[in-house]
Structure 1
Amino acid sequence: MDTSNIINIIDDTVVKNGILILLWLEFMWETYLSIRQFKKAQSATEVPEVLRKVVNKDEFEKARQYSLAKLKFGFVKDTHGIIITSLIIYYGILAYFWDFSDSVNPVKGEVTTSCIWLFVVTLVSTIIDLPLTIYHTFVLEEKFGFNKQTAGFFVWDKVKAFFVNQIITLSISSLIIVIIKSGGPYFFIWLWLVVCIISMILLTIYPAVIAPLFDKYTPLPEGKLRSEIEALASQLKFPLTQLYVVEGSKRSSHSNAYFYGLFNSKRIVLFDTLLAKDDGTGCQDDEILAVLSHELGHWSHSHIIKNLVLMQINLFLMFLGFSVLFKYPPLYEALGFYNVKPVLVGLFVVCTYVMIPYNTLLSFLMTCLSRRFEFQADNFAVRLGKSEPLERALLKLNKDNLGFPINDRLYSAWYHSHPPLLERISVLRESGGKTK
């Protein structure tokens, strides 16, 4: 049987059932992994030896209960998601949204109808997910002392995020449609080049222009910590131009630090929750310097550039796959689109559903690569003599964030982009010993 005959017998029902099977296989695999981790957390009641000087029995139990609560919430959220997605595909609900969008579109045309359709789909999806979002923020996170948001702040934050996201998404989507429709047989090359440029622009302007719409960024005050950070950057020839503290405590007590910026203009951002507090939470100056040494290790090893290159290669492959499949009618008919073949819908179907095996494999490989990068960044900090303060910082941050350090190996390998705490400390101690 030749290829054309094979294609002819693959109708919309086969495509629809194939998509549903892929989705449910992925759901069952990830549920199985979560069950393994849930059982692991249930049975692990003793504080590991390496944590006993930092975490007492009650604190360990609270972290264990937080882990179990998040896993239970994950079960509900994932089950809710797979059921809603299956109903949408099975009953062709996206096609109903398209018909509605076309009927209210005052300017008939695929670009404007697609934008209305995307807005409606995103709005409905946000509303459907809202109860779970509220529960996660005001029940789960609140119970364990992490939520700092008021109801008013939460609502305003979500409204801002929704409309900022719509402005960006609809603008890019419109451009994508035009390129696909007018780019000829090799449109995927032009599409890839344009999306590459847009992604680089967004990476540049997001921290400086968009992020301040949601959080307050202030320069780190003059003092010992600022001087030591600037000295560290100078020692490593890191092109530091700005040093900020972000007011993350108004939404959560979780801690973090990061840097951003391209070329010779880098900015370091510390969460205010990372700084030492009177209640004993947060990190001391030498521990913060160790955390930043780790982050600068990512810069020294060009991890950001490597990830960007991999992201662009992935985009090219996805657009190439889309260019091969997007004119195939059963892809649209599987979702209820019998009379029209909107290219934005085709892009969504191919990249989200048809390429599930590819996306799943890629995600796992990127997780493996990320863990390798984390070890390299830790080793960079060790070579700077930061092994001991980095270990203290990791232990404190794990304690402050109620991190549960005991993981099922398969679950951790699949999900954790950072190495597990106990493994990370073991490697730190071994590497630190070698440098002494």
Structure 2
Amino acid sequence: MDENSVVGIFDAAHVRDFIIILLWIEFLWETYLSIRQFKKAQCVTEVPDEIKTVMSKNEFEKAKQYSLAKLKFGFVKDTHGIILTTLIIYYGALAYFWDFSHDINPVKGEVSTSCIWLFIVSLISTFIDLPLTIYHTFVLEEKYGFNKQTAGFFVWDKIKAFIVNQIITLLLSSVIIVIIKSGGPYFFIWLWVVVCILSMVLLTIYPSVIAPLFDKYTPLPEGELRTEIENLASQLKFPLTQLYVVEGSKRSSHSNAYFYGLFKSKRIVLFDTLLAKDDGTGCKNDEILAVLSHELGHWFHNHIIKNLILMQVNLFLLFLGFSIIFKYKPLYGALGFFNVQPVLVGLFVVLQYVMMPYNTVLNFLMTCLSRRFEFQADDFAVQLKKAEPLERALLQLNKDNLGFPINDNLYSAWHHSHPPLLERISVLRKNAKKVK
């Protein structure tokens, strides 16, 4: 081994250790925040006054235990993940799978080898994560009454998800490799343009083409609720073209509502679990209208477009950073790639690990921005005189989803893209008084 090779291995070891240290710093920070939230939840015994009208002492205690159970599960999952990731990086497991992929690839080209490598890594990752996924679905969620999946539904759902993800990932990865290899010194510009276009295409086709592969979407039946929603959309000049109910109850009893679509074609989707049921779960019509008023507030304030713009700017900066450092060989050596420098591996290392501090700060800033957007959307509903039914809807959804409303401030600021329930209600009431 010549002197340059020894230096290269030494540099790669430093990069590897730096990556591992960054991963563990993030893990310890997240663990610290979870411990704060766990202790905060444990100490609470009394039901807050704001939710006493909808949540009994027993229901509040059940929500507390559900929150604690999720925190415990999250700690186990994160610990499992950090140990596994550390071992994979330290022992160069990804490079081993690359060599295996190259050996079984009759073409020997980088694009085809990368696709085989991605498939193998994804398959192994899926099987490794499967026990925790099964536990979360059939033990934790089942215990608190949320899981509605049968074993057969679960298996078929995971198979479909894996196939769809592989098709999208392998096609996108192939395009990325070709652009990086043949795009010249300014490949990052072409890469950004193409990924922007492809991401917009996926955002457009996902709700109407991919999502129906997993859940059943049916038009909301004619009736009072449909008429009121259409009148609300007409009043706000919202270009509503379709109104669907998704059969989410086959998967979970958690509820939601959203809209999608670009330009002058918008569609609203209600989870069937959101609709009022005889057992007291779900929301009344005026509460659903209030929830949709909030969602339409996002549309009115162009929050989705703003998020898309920020996402594309972020992508450009990430690709620019990658173009500057992707030829640095120790980046590849850090994961055990000493003889080859596959561009897909370089992209993965840079975006996932090297840019980790940037990504962490950005995620926090985006969480703060998301909270601001949520308050703006709430205020939009308030201006439509829907503060009171929106408050009732938030309380009902919190009850139905066993939401625990007490949060450690630091944990909440870091993790919650939506304002905590009690803070949200307080602001709602304050703004409602101004409207009156």
Question: What TM-score does the superposition give when structure 2 sets the normalisation length?
Answer: 0.98
Q: How many residues are treated as equivalent by the alignment?
A: 430
CA–CA separation in structure 1 for the residues paired with 2:389 and 2:142: 30
CA–CA separation in structure 2 for the residues paired with 1:113 and 1:37: 44
CA–CA separation in structure 2 for the residues paired with 1:56 and 1:339: 64
Give the AA of the match of 1:179. Answer: I
Give the AA of the match of 2:20. Answer: L
Give the AA of the match of 2:60. Answer: F
CA–CA separation in structure 1 for the residues paired with 2:398 and 2:108: 55
CA–CA separation in structure 2 for the residues paired with 1:362 and 1:162: 29
Partner of 1:164: 164
Once the two structures are superposed, residues 45-101 of structure 1 have per-residue CA deviations (whole angstroms, 9 ceiling, x without a partner) of 110011111101000000000000000000000000000000000000000000010
SS of residue matched to 1:11: helix
Task: Indicate conservation of the 8 Å contact 2:9/2:330, yes or no.
Answer: no
Partner of 1:275: 275
SS of residue matched to 1:55: coil
Alpha-carbon RMSD:
1.0
Structure 2 residue 98 is matched with structure 1 residue 106: no
Partner of 2:244: 244
Give the AA of the match of 2:208. Answer: A
Identity of aligned residues (%): 82
Give the AA of the match of 1:336. Answer: G
Q: How far is the alpha carbon of 1:9 from its aligned partner?
A: 11
Partner of 1:214: 214
Partner of 2:378: 378
Runs (4+) of structure 1 moved beyond 4 Å? Answer: 7-10
Partner of 2:144: 144
Partner of 2:47: 47
CA–CA separation in structure 2 for the residues paired with 1:36 and 1:289: 36
Partner of 1:4: none
Once the two structures are superposed, residues 298-321 of structure 1 have per-residue CA deviations (whole angstroms, 9 ceiling, x without a partner) of 000000000000000000000001
Structure 2 residue 336 is matched with structure 1 residue 336: yes
CA–CA separation in structure 2 for the residues paired with 1:9 and 1:343: 19
Q: How far is the alpha carbon of 1:107 from its aligned partner?
A: 1.3
SS of residue matched to 1:185: helix
Structure 2 residue 230 is matched with structure 1 residue 230: yes
Task: Indicate conservation of the 8 Å contact 2:8/2:329, yes or no.
Answer: no
CA–CA separation in structure 2 for the residues paired with 1:255 and 1:10: 52
Q: How far is the alpha carbon of 1:323 from its aligned partner?
A: 0.3
Q: Identify the range of structure 1 (98-107 vs 192-201) with the bigger mean alpha-carbon deviation.
A: 98-107
Partner of 2:4: none
Give the AA of the match of 1:309. Answer: I
C-alpha distance 247-162 of structure 1, shift in aligned 2 (>3 A) = same
Partner of 1:353: 353
SS of residue matched to 2:184: coil
How do 1:20-419 residues align onto structure 2 when only pairs under 5 Å count? 20-419=20-419
CA–CA separation in structure 2 for the residues paired with 1:221 and 1:143: 33
Q: How far is the alpha carbon of 1:106 from its aligned partner?
A: 1.6
CA–CA separation in structure 2 for the residues paired with 1:106 and 1:297: 54
CA–CA separation in structure 2 for the residues paired with 1:217 and 1:412: 34
Give the AA of the match of 2:416. Answer: H
Give the AA of the match of 2:117. Answer: W
Give the AA of the match of 2:25. Answer: L
Once the two structures are superposed, residues 154-183 of structure 1 have per-residue CA deviations (whole angstroms, 9 ceiling, x without a partner) of 000000000000000000000000000000
Give the AA of the match of 1:386. Answer: K
C-alpha distance 268-113 of structure 1, shift in aligned 2 (>3 A) = same
Q: How far is the alpha carbon of 1:330 from its aligned partner?
A: 0.2
Once the two structures are superposed, residues 357-399 of structure 1 have per-residue CA deviations (whole angstroms, 9 ceiling, x without a partner) of 0010000000000000000000000000000000000000000
CA–CA separation in structure 2 for the residues paired with 1:253 and 1:244: 18
Once the two structures are superposed, residues 100-148 of structure 1 have per-residue CA deviations (whole angstroms, 9 ceiling, x without a partner) of 1001112110000000000011111111000000000000000000000
Once the two structures are superposed, residues 182-220 of structure 1 have per-residue CA deviations (whole angstroms, 9 ceiling, x without a partner) of 000000000000000000000000000000000000000
Partner of 1:3: none
CA–CA separation in structure 2 for the residues paired with 1:291 and 1:330: 51
SS of residue matched to 1:134: helix
Partner of 2:428: 428
Once the two structures are superposed, residues 269-291 of structure 1 have per-residue CA deviations (whole angstroms, 9 ceiling, x without a partner) of 00000000000000000000000
Give the AA of the match of 1:321. Answer: G
C-alpha distance 153-8 of structure 1, shift in aligned 2 (>3 A) = closer
SS of residue matched to 1:186: helix
CA–CA separation in structure 1 for the residues paired with 2:146 and 2:44: 23
Partner of 2:3: none
CA–CA separation in structure 2 for the residues paired with 1:265 and 1:107: 44
Q: How far is the alpha carbon of 1:250 from its aligned partner?
A: 0.1
SS of residue matched to 2:413: helix
CA–CA separation in structure 1 for the residues paired with 2:270 and 2:150: 23
SS of residue matched to 1:269: strand
CA–CA separation in structure 1 for the residues paired with 2:275 and 2:9: 63
CA–CA separation in structure 2 for the residues paired with 1:113 and 1:308: 32
Structure 2, unpaired ranges of 5+:
1-6
Give the AA of the match of 1:202. Answer: L
Q: How far is the alpha carbon of 1:10 from its aligned partner?
A: 7.5
Once the two structures are superposed, residues 312-348 of structure 1 have per-residue CA deviations (whole angstroms, 9 ceiling, x without a partner) of 0000000001001111000001111011000000000
Q: How far is the alpha carbon of 1:8 from its aligned partner?
A: 8.2
Give the AA of the match of 1:63. Answer: A
CA–CA separation in structure 1 for the residues paired with 2:206 and 2:76: 32
CA–CA separation in structure 1 for the residues paired with 2:55 and 2:20: 45
CA–CA separation in structure 1 for the residues paired with 2:111 and 2:89: 23
